[in-house]
């Protein structure tokens, strides 16, 4: 039986193309590249959404961006063996005014809900989870088309801080952890989204982590 893996994230999991405003094709998006790398023994399910946050309601974007609202019904319908979570970049927006530690606190609350739901409702307490601290924003972010939505004086440093807090949360909940910022930064098109090379690197990093999880 194939191992089913859900990639739950924001626009960098959806495959937003900053050059066109559209979506990268299946030969470019990192979840699809991950599928090709892992092979037929795995089923990779893309669950990326532009603008998705961990826990922040965002009525300015239709009121449908809160990951906390969607993750449990998504798990009920998809029933993955492994859940990859890469969220937090949109929680850095100026409108929410949150430090990195509080964003990690939102992730902790999400994991508490996931763990309880899987154990007591879905009867799958052994579902594996990989937490990915998202690639940091890059400089000069002030030139980005998305600059008005962030405190451009602090957001790059704050995005880099997420990793240390996420690692502590992952350890607490016995999840796998990947610090994507160590290897990847946002591309130069808008200093927020991955470029095609970033998608290739992300797929390779996640593939190595997944292989390690299943070989442990």
What are the tens digits of pLDDT across the range 147-200?
999 999 999 999 999 999 999 999 999 999 999 999 999 999 999 999 999 999
d(C-alpha 67, C-alpha 103), whole Å: 13
Residues 100-111 pLDDT 10s: 999 999 999 999
What CATH number is associated with residue 147? 3.40.50.1110
Q: What percent of the chain has pLDDT above 90?
A: 95
What is the average pLDDT score of the chain?
96
d(C-alpha 160, C-alpha 99), whole Å: 11
d(C-alpha 183, C-alpha 124), whole Å: 33
Residue 60 confidence (pLDDT): 84
Residue 59 confidence (pLDDT): 83
d(C-alpha 111, C-alpha 126), whole Å: 13
What is the span of the domain harbouring residue 131?
A: 3-215
d(C-alpha 83, C-alpha 160), whole Å: 23
> Long-range contacts for 71-78 (Cβ within 8 Å, ≥24 apart)?
71/8, 71/110, 71/113, 71/114, 72/113, 72/114, 72/117, 74/6, 74/8, 74/47, 75/6, 75/114, 75/117, 75/118, 75/122, 75/127, 76/117, 76/121, 76/122, 78/4, 78/6, 78/45, 78/47
Say how many domains are in the chain: 1
Residue 42 confidence (pLDDT): 97
Residues 114-149 pLDDT 10s: 999 999 999 999 999 999 999 999 999 999 999 999
Residue 44 makes CB contacts below 8 A (sequence gap 6+) with 5, 7, 31, 32, 34, 35, 38
d(C-alpha 70, C-alpha 60), whole Å: 18
**Separate counts of helices (H) and strands (E) for the chain:** 6, 5
Check pLDDT > 90 for residue 58: no
DSSP3 helix / strand / coil % (the chain, rounded to 5):
45, 15, 40
């Amino acid at each position: 039986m194939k191992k089913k893996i859900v990639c739950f994230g924001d626009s960098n999991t959806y495959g937003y193309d900053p050059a066109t405003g559209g979506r990268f094709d299946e030969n470019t998006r990192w979840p699809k590249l991950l599928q090709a790398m892992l092979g037929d023994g795995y089923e990779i399910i893309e669950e990326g959404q532009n603008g998705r946050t961990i826990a922040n309601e965002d009525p300015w974007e239709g009121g449908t961006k809160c990951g906390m609202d969607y993750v449990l019904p998504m798990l009920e319908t998809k029933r993955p063996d492994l859940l990859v979570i890469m969220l937090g970049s949109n929680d850095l927006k100026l409108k929410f005014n949150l430090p990195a530690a509080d964003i990690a606190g939102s992730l902790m609350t999400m994991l508490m809900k996931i763990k309880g739901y899987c154990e007591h409702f879905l009867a799958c307490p052994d579902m594996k989870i990989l937490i990915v601290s998202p690639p940091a924003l890059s400089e000069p972010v002030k030139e980005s088309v998305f600059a008005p939505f962030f405190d451009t004086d602090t957001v790059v440093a704050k995005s880099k801080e997420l990793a240390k807090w996420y690692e502590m949360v992952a350890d607490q909940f016995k999840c796998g952890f990947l610090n994507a910022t160590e290897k990847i930064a946002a591309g130069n098109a808008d200093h927020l989204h991955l470029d095609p090379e970033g998608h290739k690197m992300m797929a390779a990093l996640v593939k190595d982590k997944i292989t390690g999880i299943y070989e442990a």
